Chain A
């Protein structure tokens, strides 16, 4: 039976499915917090979530508002420092980082710093890297979760805040970033995207129910590649939606209900 859900609920439910039990996942602010909490309640009770302010492996009692608030360290294994958890990433202990939306290009480079050309006097100043540059540089695989439209998926980002594959295969290693790291998936409200092994360019891997390739391409400012066989994403289940609405985000901070 087909459940009634909004695009943000779809985003969170699909995002939660990529979280594997017993993996180490460094979680950014916003949608990733809700998706991770949903995964922990549904299918990955032993996921080791890490937050940049220093909390490791909490059993979150409610949705955090901040990646540094007291819910991120509730029944955690350690409430440590930012230095400690960033160093864990740098030493290769963290499997995934899960980051929220920003401007993104075909190589998965992210902009959360500024729009415009003049750095000292930008058209629009945004928050900056936060921990995103650190996490996407140092964790093994980067998962981005973001709504998809032409303003977010652009040919060229105004500012590379956070490294994807930079300008192609081998560029990360050449720049000095740790080897064999980089973008892995982009979860959107329309589809799941991955990356082509040879070119490191973004490709469509799975279409959400009722979404066409044309519709995805129309919402993207650059040409997308396609995986050999495209899958159809299973829609959110009643169970996913119930836990999301009743237990993860009853106040509607993320899903807007």
Chain B
């Protein structure tokens, strides 16, 4: 049983991003090193930094600390043929896949909403041939970002081997030159654009994740060619200099900074506000049918001018204060 899988030496699916470190160096050689003001708008950040065909990666954990404003703007501006790292992705990849923005995806987790179940719209999108797929594990994509952040072309690792996850990846295997042991070899992943929501950033892009988990955001920010940061609050440059240990992402990785209060809604923002469970339930119920899906995207994205209008639509600051109450353990999940 499974003979065709357990002894494979290389995955057979498509490698979407060039892992060559010298091509990456040629790009980074010309990246701006200046301490310049990068504060812009959501519309400008997406319009200027995200092109049709780009490969993007999203920070946070799919429904925790996600850059919702940028994701919705990508849908609104009708970006097409995007590649995506479906790394710990939930609402983020659902939006882009369902809206038809994506044509290829490195998958480690998509469609699922953890204990809430699955998204029917994401499932329809990912079951279609319209999205070319290559599978990995969460650890694999985390380490692929780390390899790119280190300026390498691959990283050895000891998982995936012997499984269909390896077969349907673009990983290979390698013999360790020191021990003779067999390892997986994961190609470095240099995304064109990373989009990351943080608690605080200064106008140059120095960014602080001040509460909760970091997932692979420190690695991702360093691996990506361009980085868009959205933050709950802009802070002064002096605050960064006063406590440099707290900087999660240094300015030189960053190309655009946008202040977006409540920017992770309906996701959890650690220390700030809890998940909007009513919204997730509404979303997952609505997208069960194609007609409902169309209605949701018209109502919540295409017919909404910007993120401020969206926040009004979901109940405004009053709703966000309720979600802050749950986050601060004042109320239960049921509000």
Contact = CB atoms under 8 A, between A and B. Distances in A.
- Residue from A29, A127, A159 whose CB has the most chain B CB atoms within 10 Å: A127
A10 to B, nearest CB: 18
A53 B217 CA distance: 10
A174 B6 contact: yes
27 contacts: A52-B139, A53-B61, A53-B214, A61-B329, A65-B275, A68-B60, A68-B88, A69-B268, A70-B274, A79-B211, A81-B214, A82-B215, A83-B216, A86-B143, A113-B168, A119-B168, A121-B129, A125-B127, A128-B165, A160-B162, A160-B163, A166-B6, A166-B162, A171-B6, A175-B6, A176-B158, A251-B334
B274 A161 contact: no
Contacts of A62: 329, 332-333
Nearest to B273: A70
Contacts of A251: 332-334
A254 to B, nearest CB: 7
Interface string B25-57: 000000000000000000000000000000000
Contacts of A33: 115
A160 B5 CA distance: 9
A221 interface: no
Interface in A218-257: 250-251, 253-254
Nearest to A131: B138
B228 interface: no
Interface string A169-194: 00110111110000000000000000
B114 A66 contact: yes
Contacts of A70: 64, 211-212, 268, 270-271, 274, 327
A217 interface: no
Contacts of B136: 129
Interface in B281-335: 327, 329, 332-334
A88 to B, nearest CB: 11
B1 to A, nearest CB: 5
Contact of A113 (B116, B129, B162, B164): B164
A79 B114 contact: no
Given A83-B219, A113-B135, A174-B6, A125 B165 contact: no
Interface string A96-131: 000000000000010001000001111011111111
A113 B211 CA distance: 32
A127 B112 contact: yes
A29 B115 contact: yes
Contact of B63 (A66, A132, A137): A66
Contacts, number: 233
A122 B127 contact: yes
Interface residues of A, number: 63
A65 B211 contact: no
A55 B213 contact: yes
Contacts of A36: none
Contacts of A149: none
Interface in B252-295: 268, 270-271, 274-275, 277
A65 B158 CA distance: 29
- Residue from B163, B211, B218 whose CB has the most chain A CB atoms within 10 Å: B163
B213 A177 contact: no
A79 B219 CA distance: 15
Interface in A65-100: 65-70, 72-73, 79-83, 86, 90
Nearest to B173: A176
B64 A53 contact: yes
Contacts of B217: 81
Given A53-B61, A133-B163, A163-B163, 7 more contacts: A29-B114, A69-B64, A81-B213, A82-B142, A160-B163, A175-B6, A176-B183
Given A70-B211, A70-B274, A130 B162 contact: no
3 tightest CB-CB pairs across the interface, nearest first?
A175-B162, A68-B61, A134-B139
A181 B69 CA distance: 43
A30 interface: yes
A172 B138 CA distance: 20
A195 B242 CA distance: 56
B118 interface: yes
A82 B334 CA distance: 30
B111 A68 contact: no
B214 A80 contact: yes
B140 interface: yes
A160 B184 CA distance: 16
A142 to B, nearest CB: 12
Interface stretch (B75-83, B102-110, B187-195, B233-241): B102-110
A23 interface: no
A98 to B, nearest CB: 15
Contacts of B139: 52, 82, 86, 131, 133-134, 138
B332 A80 contact: no
B7 A132 contact: no
Interface string B107-149: 1111110111010000100111100110111111011001000
B178 interface: no
Contacts of B332: 62, 250-251
Contacts of A122: 127
B116 A177 contact: no
B247 interface: no
